[in-house]
Structure 1
Amino acid sequence: MAAIGVFCASSRTLDRRWLDLAAEAGGELARRGHRLVSGGGCVGMMGALADAARAGGAHTLGVIPKLLVDLEVADPHADELVVTDGMFDRKSVMMHRSDAFLTLPGGLGTLDELFEVWTTATLRVHHKPVVLLDADGFYRGLVDWLRGLTGTAFVGRAAVDLLVVVDSVPAAFDAIESRLA
């Protein structure tokens, strides 16, 4: 049983399909016996993820900065809720409390979290799996651009290879589990 840090959107205005994807991820996480480490909000994909994980019996840890407690509406049902001083502290706690990372579709905050855990993996600060769920080609343009950087010497092939890109929820957890084994 691993603690999986999941990064995703907390927007209240997303299409239902993204909320369903987050709920699918939360349900699969619970079905496989993992614990959830999330951004601590109870709205948007973040809320759907945590609710589904809890409904499946998973332990949920939410980590949310003080300034977002009201904006993202802190998850009152989290098994454990850590309120941090700021965004940097949130990422730090999530990184330390997670055994692996899964990034679902999201915006700037989600990308910030993805790049933080991926960069620190390339620097060997940690050896935790970093998985990107490219559902419906959401991240296709970004992934193509990142892979293209290897030809410019700005990013090495080994760094790009540390980011595992998959296209389904089951494949995401298979990738995490195989790398944790």
Structure 2
Amino acid sequence: MKNALLLAAPSVGVSDRLGKISLFYHREAQRCANNRAYFAACILTGAALEALLLSMCYVEDRAVRRTPTYKQKRFRSRRNRFFEFNLYQLISIAGELKWIPAKEIPLNGRKITLQELLHAARDTRNTIHPAVWAKEGGPSGTRKSTCEFIFEVFEVTREWLFHHMHTSLRRTMSDLR
């Protein structure tokens, strides 16, 4: 039992650091939004989301290794493979492992899933790359409403991830009895 805890320690440390990074990014994003720097707030919130999903990969590492996304990925290194995932792949893993609900929700007259909302937030985050701007015809201002949308997607995702961890922990505790 002691050896199992020792083996789990490194990934727990990485997960904790990623959680702290996510919290830092989210706080910085709120400061940016409060100062009407909505583009920066959107980018930072996307980074917070990525750190949160990466953290979950370390918490649920065995399950992640069984996903189609993990199995199809060509890794460059043997250590810290989860760091090689991009945000698109992390969102896919979250959907595959049901960390987020697959249920459609009504939004502006159409039905959409949280996974689709995450991809919309990812698309906004990806505007940090000059090539994305160049393909779309150049930069345009990021509105407060876009920033609020991305904040809401982040908050809903965070709540679902916490719900998943709580449920998983409760299930594990009842199995130990």
Is the structural similarity TM-score above 0.5? no
The normalised TM-score by structure 1 is 0.24
More strand by share: 1
More helix by share: 2
Please give the TM-score of this superposition, normalised by the length of structure 2.
0.24
